[in-house]
Amino acid sequence: MLTGSQPCSVVVAGLGGIVSARSSVDPGPAEWTVVCGLSARFRASVILPIGRLTLMFLTSTMFPDTGNTCYLGNIVPAETDLILRATRLLGDRLGEGWSVRSYNEPVRGKGPGVLQPEATLSITAPDGTNAIQLVETKAQMFPRDVQRWVSALRPVPRGNKYLLVTPFLGPRARDLLEAAGVNYVDMTGNMLVRADSPSVFIREWGADKDPAPAEEPVRSLRGAKAARVVRALCDYKEPMTSRAVATRAGVTPGYVSKIVALLEREALLERKGRGPIQPITRVLWADLVRRWSADYRLLDSNTARLFLAPQGLPAFLRDLNRWAARTPDARYAVTGSFAAAQRAPIAPPGLLFCYVDAPADVAEKTGLMRADRTGNVYLCEPLDAVVFDRTWTADDVVCAAPAQVAADCLTGPDRMPSEGEALLDWMAANEDAWRADG
């Protein structure tokens, strides 16, 4: 129950915009102010007085048909709300003369029997031809759910497609749906709608992070401990147990279990059963590296300083090896374009990234000059010492592990993301060359 005795706010996500109400608690009765952030096409409204609370709703988008479930500070759209909003979002993006109509009727399947989608959207072109989208709604859809859900869908007649409507879809779930040939619309603006006849292709991007996430123990791969776990999962072959991963990463089995649960939700690994001794049977390491790169950034997660090697990169690498040979406990690991080019060359690297423990000292010993904008060497003090694990040597240069190099390239500047993808392709074709037995 809402009363005027305490300051509070209500945010209601309507299909045409945002309706928010806020109480200002004064010595007198509570006064509620309603602000409607709505487009001009939805200005028809109705005012509902409820005690001392007055709310303004859109007659075209809210009660009584849609059945929203409202919580203080949040709203969970019902199935009808999702379908109505998806219909309007799609209609707004089609050109003049196009129309979108939603109806609830069975559709004859590709085989015997009929299909019973939650709704059917008919997209009609100016020439009268139409394409059918069979709508299914989900309150949430994790990547791990996509394959199971898609496999349960019945075949549709030629020219028809399934359309998933949900409040939010993450990047990996969207990729899996696209690969399965399923269209989607989420309420943050992510949209992929395709049809053959009439020809329709709509792709738009909304949020990559869930604006209203459910409470989960771990939702990110950010930080040093997560980096060690990711590297352990990538660098060693399956099967492996969570306990073995914890030992390699130097973290607790409980922390590994939380990361594994996150990766399982995102369909990045598979395991047999639960618990620290149950084996992880499959790691999609290339997609895991890509997922890691969403939370980890080469230049932001590490402490990076730009320098100029006045005599060029070959001379710097020669001086770096001389420094390492004469300095006790010295270590370094080259990453980025230079390391990637040793396995999957695209173009001669013009910028070198190198992990070291003390950038200022290494720069002094190797003759580097500090640069503000124009430089050719980044010395990076690493987020964690895992960057020095499982290094390899090419032409007398020590390089970081391929999984580390790939993640660094994917988050680097200029053409480095393309170099990272090329390295991932090489890693897929030469897995035995860089992954150790678990």
Q: pLDDT band for position 409 (50/70/90)?
A: very high
CATH T-level fold of 301-434: Beta Polymerase; domain 2 (3.30.460)
Q: Quick one: what percent of the chain has pLDDT higher than 70?
A: 78
CATH T-level fold of 224-292: Arc Repressor Mutant, subunit A (1.10.10)
**pTM assigned to the model:** 0.61
Instruction: Read off the amino acid at residue 229.
Output: V
Which residues pair with residue 58 across a beta bridge?
45
Which two structure tokens, joined as six digits, stand for 231?
């590297």
CATH T-level fold of 81-204: Trna Endonuclease; Chain: A, domain 1 (3.40.1350)
pLDDT at res. 220? 87
Summarize pLDDT for 147-198 with one digit per residue, the tens. Answer: 888 888 888 888 889 999 999 999 999 999 999 999 999 999 999 999 998 9
- The answer to whether residue 25 scores a pLDDT higher than 50 is no
Weakest mean pLDDT among 44-53, 232-241, 318-327: 44-53
pLDDT at res. 73? 37
Which two structure tokens, joined as six digits, stand for 289?
């590296």
Q: What are the CA-CA distances from residue 435 to residues 48, 239, 255, 283, 410 (Å)?
A: 64, 12, 23, 12, 20
pLDDT at res. 367? 95
Summarize pLDDT for 339-362 with one digit per residue, the tens. Answer: 999 999 999 999 999 999 999 999
Query: Please, are residues 379 and 368 in contact by the beta-carbon 8 Å criterion?
Result: yes
Q: pLDDT band for position 108 (50/70/90)?
A: low
Summarize pLDDT for 55-74 with one digit per residue, the tens. Answer: 434 333 333 333 443 333 34
Domain residues of the chain, as ranges? 9-76, 81-204, 224-292, 301-434
Summarize pLDDT for 255-293 with one digit per residue, the tens. Answer: 999 999 999 989 999 988 766 667 999 999 999 999 999
pLDDT at res. 1? 35
CA distance 273 to 396: 45
Q: pLDDT band for position 51 (50/70/90)?
A: very low
What is the pLDDT averaged over residues 234-249? 94
Peptide bond into 382 cis (omega under 30): no
Q: Which residues contact 248 (CB under 8 A, 6 or more apart)?
A: 228, 232, 236
Using left for φ > 0, alpha for ψ between -120 and 50, and beta otherwise, residue 129 falls in beta
- The answer to whether residue 88 scores a pLDDT higher than 80 is yes
Count of Cβ atoms closer than 10 Å to residue 157 Cβ = 13
Query: Please, are residues 417 and 424 in contact by the beta-carbon 8 Å criterion?
Result: no
- The answer to whether residue 216 scores a pLDDT higher than 90 is no
Q: Taking CA 392 as the corner, what is the angle to CA 390 and CA 396, rounded to the nearest 5 degrees?
A: 150
Q: Taking CA 74 as the corner, what is the angle to CA 69 and CA 75, rounded to the nearest 5 degrees?
A: 30
Q: Between residues 114 and 426, which one has the greater pLDDT?
A: 426
Peptide bond into 64 cis (omega under 30): yes
Strands 191-195 and 369-370: unpaired
Burial 72-84 (b: 16+ CB within 10 A, else e): eeebebbbbbbbb
- In order, the DSSP letters of 100-138 are EEEE---EE-SSSSEE--SEEEEEE-TTS-EEEEEEEE-
CA distance 318 to 314: 6
What is the pLDDT averaged over residues 120-132? 91
